[in-house]
Chains A and B, each alone.
Chain A
Amino acid sequence: MQTEQLNGVVSKPAYSSVELNPKSRFHLFIAEQNVTAEMQSIYDECSSDKKIAVYNDASDTQLIESLALFPLAGTLYLAGTEPFIWRVASHARQAGMCPEQIRMMTPVSRERHLFCCHCYTVTEGVTYSPYVCDGCGLSLEVTDHFARLHSAYFGYQVNAEDSADMPAKREVS
Chain B
Amino acid sequence: MSVIDQMSVVVTAVKQVAPMIKEFTLEPLEGQLTPFSPGAHVVVTMAGTESTYRNAYSLMSDPQDNSQYRIAVRLQETSRGGSVYMHQQVEVGTQLKISPPSNLFAPQWMAKKHVLFAGGVGITPFLSYLPALQRQQVPFELHYMYRSQQTGAYRIELTESLADRCHCYDADQGNRCDVSAVMSAQPLGTHFYICGPESLIEAVQTTADEMGIPPSAIHWEAFAGAKPGQPFVVELSGRGVELDVAADSSLLEALEAADIKIPNLCRAGVCGQCVCDVAGGEVEHRDSYLSDTEKQSGRVIMPCVSRAAGERLVLDI
Contacts and interface: CB of A to CB of B under 8 A. Distances in A.
A98 B111 contact: no
> What size tier do the contact residues of chain A reach?
10 to 19
Contact of A25 (B110, B187, B212): B212
Contacts of A74: 188, 212
Task: Name which of B189, B190, B216 has the most chain A CB atoms within 10 A of its CB.
Answer: B189
B111 to A, nearest CB: 7
Interface stretch (A5-13, A65-73, A137-145): A65-73
B188 A97 contact: yes
B110 A96 contact: yes
Contact of B187 (A72, A75, A98, A99): A72
A97 B189 CA distance: 6
A101 B190 contact: no
Contact of B216 (A70, A71, A95, A99): A99
B140 to A, nearest CB: 14
Interface residues of A: mostly helix, strand, loop or mixed? loop
Task: Name which of A25, A98, A100 has the most chain B CB atoms within 10 A of its CB.
Answer: A98
Contact of A96 (B111, B209, B212, B213): B111
Contacts of A72: 186-190, 213, 217
A51 to B, nearest CB: 15
A21 interface: yes
A101 B215 CA distance: 10
Given A72-B187, A72-B188, A72-B190, A98 B212 contact: no
A169 interface: no
Contacts of A21: 212
A24 interface: yes
B36 to A, nearest CB: 26
B212 A23 contact: yes
Given A70-B188, A72-B187, A98 B211 contact: no
Contacts of A98: 214, 216-217
Nearest to B208: A73
Contacts of B188: 70-72, 74, 95-97
Interface residues of B: mostly helix, strand, loop or mixed? loop
B110 A73 contact: no
B112 interface: yes
Contacts of A24: 212
Given A96-B190, A97-B188, A98-B217, A73 B212 contact: yes
B107 to A, nearest CB: 14
A106 B214 CA distance: 22
Contacts of A96: 110-112, 187-190
Contacts of B190: 72, 96
Nearest to A25: B212
Contacts of A70: 188
Contacts of B210: 23
Nearest to B192: A72
B214 A100 contact: yes
B141 to A, nearest CB: 14
Nearest to A67: B188
Interface in B166-208: 186-190
A23 B207 CA distance: 12
B213 A73 contact: yes
A100 B110 contact: no
Nearest to B215: A100
Contacts of B209: 23
B216 A73 contact: no
Interface of A: 21, 23-25, 70-75, 93, 95-101
Given A72-B186, A72-B217, 4 more contacts: A72-B188, A96-B188, A98-B214, A100-B214
- Top 10 A-B pairs ranked by shortest CB distance? A96-B189, A73-B212, A23-B212, A98-B214, A96-B112, A98-B216, A24-B212, A96-B188, A100-B214, A25-B212
22 contacts: A23-B209, A23-B210, A23-B211, A25-B211, A70-B188, A71-B188, A72-B188, A72-B190, A73-B213, A74-B212, A93-B110, A96-B110, A96-B111, A96-B112, A96-B187, A96-B188, A97-B188, A97-B189, A97-B214, A98-B216, A98-B217, A101-B214
